[in-house]
Amino acid sequence: MKVVALVSGGKDSCFNILHCLAQGHELIALANLKPADPSVQELDSFMFQTVGHDALEFYSECVGVPMFRGDINGKSVNQQLDYKITQEDEIEDLYLLLEKVKIAHPDVEAVSVGAILSSYQRTRVENVCQRLGLTSLAFLWQRDQLELMTEMVESSMDARIIKVAAVGLNESHLGQSLKQIFPTLLRLNQKFQVHICGEGGEFETLVLDAPFFVKKLEFNEFEKVVSNDGVAYLKPIVKVVEKTKEDGEYHRVQERNVDWKKFLPSATGLLREQFQDIYESLPQSFEAAESTKGASSYNQEPEQTTKKMGNKLFISNISSLETSVEEQVADVLSILNSILQKNDVDSSHIQHLTLLISSMSNFAKINSIYVKNFTAPLPPSRVCVQTQLPEGVHLQVSVVVMLDSQKKTGLHVQGRSYWAPANIGPYSQTIIDENLTATLSGQIPLIPSSMELSKESPLFNAVLSLQHFDNVKQVIGCVNQLSVVSFVKSPELVKGASNIWESYSSGEDMNPQNSLLIVQVEELPKSANVEWGGLSYKKLTNLYED
């Protein structure tokens, strides 16, 4: 894809550009937001790094692509985690900036962003991307900080410390390279839990050189500014200089057939160590389970029911007798919304939705109408499978509804990363209720960085999709499993899925077999061979037991 990179001058935004290039994307422009008053170095922004912004005027010459810059006129007005359009918010300045890029470059398709842990930053960039029809590329998202910082230190990127704001850091560290300050950061992390990558605002950096720079920056002079609260930063004056052989290998981003991956110190596989071990422990094949496919028929059509239990509403088996797929989807959603309205709630209260369809060939048609019903932030988690339905029925919907959604939280990641797949439909990866119980969307074996289906063996793909499932649990902290459903297309995967789940659950405070349900279905999204979905929860610590 053709990419515009959001750059602050910091290490994260520049290192993410390198990952975009390594993934085969084409950098066509840079974009940066700066203080409206050029004499100001630091703004009270929850979103943007502005220290050292003067140096960004030279980035276009260094990288060889146009730079688009805009002023930060807004404030952090909307401080909710999930962003909605808010007048006079600084995110609307970002929207205007990227809109300007898109007008100048109608072929731009994606935005490079250096978010690592900040959901606040990620959700805002994704909001703007969604409004402009762009894809967010955040390859640093949820990376292990020590591993990531080690890669940055070992890379040929020259990033210097230009701001410090943490215990153990002071003006003497200003101007140091990542390699110089790395031992200090390791020590402070061990003693005071200082974020090694600076995700808590402990420090900020300015990149002077990188493998995709055709010229580099040097400090001409700088002034150190120290405030009363212990924060110190540089006001650098930089100059552009030609690169020499001593600067190492570099390439123009316009060059073809460059192996950008060689500039990344370590190339990790698709599976983390835990899941690689699970995969390697599996037999090469399993005896097929006895299949019941084709043996079942409907003696009686499923009855539509609505049941209230505690603070939850369970609406099951909604279908339609309309003729076309589109008419049935509209009718099912109309029935659903009518039931919700009678119970004084709306679609934003839905925690989870199970979508059964008679043919996956109708998936796109269904989604195009479905998405219009879920426009609020954090749409429901969802499982979608193709299975046998009564004759003439194209879809059947069941939902779990939170009658009180004030404490509803979740995860709705729409950008590409190495972490887990972005949404391929209008649903969240997970929604969490007030009891810290999470409904987890079905995960299939997509390669997160490309969103292409893995072409590895069925067993590998079963492990990969379970890793996606686990990654979501780890981010939200709901790591204790209540139940899981493994949807498989082939009876050959039944025993494999059971074996994988048992290995994954070893050491857990539960019986793996009691928590696992394996269901053979006719088809899955993207023609995947396996999908994992389920329920997990976060265990609350009893103060007397702690």
Total H helices, total E strands in the chain: 12, 22
For residue 508, the model assigns a pLDDT of: 67
Q: In whole angstroms, what is the distance from residue 396 CA to residue 441 CA?
A: 17
Query: How far are the Cα atoms of 298, 318, 380 from residue 80, in angstroms, in the given order?
Result: 47, 34, 19
For residue 513, the model assigns a pLDDT of: 66
Q: Where in the chain is the domain with CATH 3.40.50.620?
A: 2-244
For residue 506, the model assigns a pLDDT of: 82
For residue 299, the model assigns a pLDDT of: 57
For residue 34, the model assigns a pLDDT of: 94
For residue 418, the model assigns a pLDDT of: 95
Residue-by-residue DSSP string for 100-161:
HHHHH-TT--EEE---SS-HHHHHHHHHHHHHHT-EEE-TTTT--HHHHHHHHHHSS-EEEE
The domain made up of 2-244 has a fold known as Rossmann fold (3.40.50)
12: Cβ contacts below 8 Å, ≥ 6 apart: 114, 115, 116, 140, 197
Give residue-wise pLDDT tens across range 23-33.
999 999 999 99
Residues 9 and 52: beta-carbon distance below 8 Å: yes
Phi, psi of 195 (to 5 degrees): -65, 125
Among candidate residues 88, 94, 10, 95, the one with its CA nearest the CA of residue 49: 10
The domain made up of 273-288+300-537 has a fold known as 60s Ribosomal Protein L30; Chain: A; (3.30.1330)
pLDDT along the chain (546 residues), means of 10: 96 97 97 91 80 93 97 91 90 97 98 92 93 96 94 95 93 96 96 92 95 96 86 92 94 96 84 95 82 58 93 97 97 98 96 97 94 92 95 96 94 94 87 96 96 96 98 95 95 93 81 83 95 94 53
Q: How many CA atoms lie within 13 A of 394 on its CB side?
A: 21
* Residue whose token pair is 């210097």: 160
Residue 218's SS3 state is strand
Q: Where in the chain is the domain with CATH 3.30.1330.40?
A: 273-288+300-537
Residue 84's SS3 state is coil
For residue 294, the model assigns a pLDDT of: 55
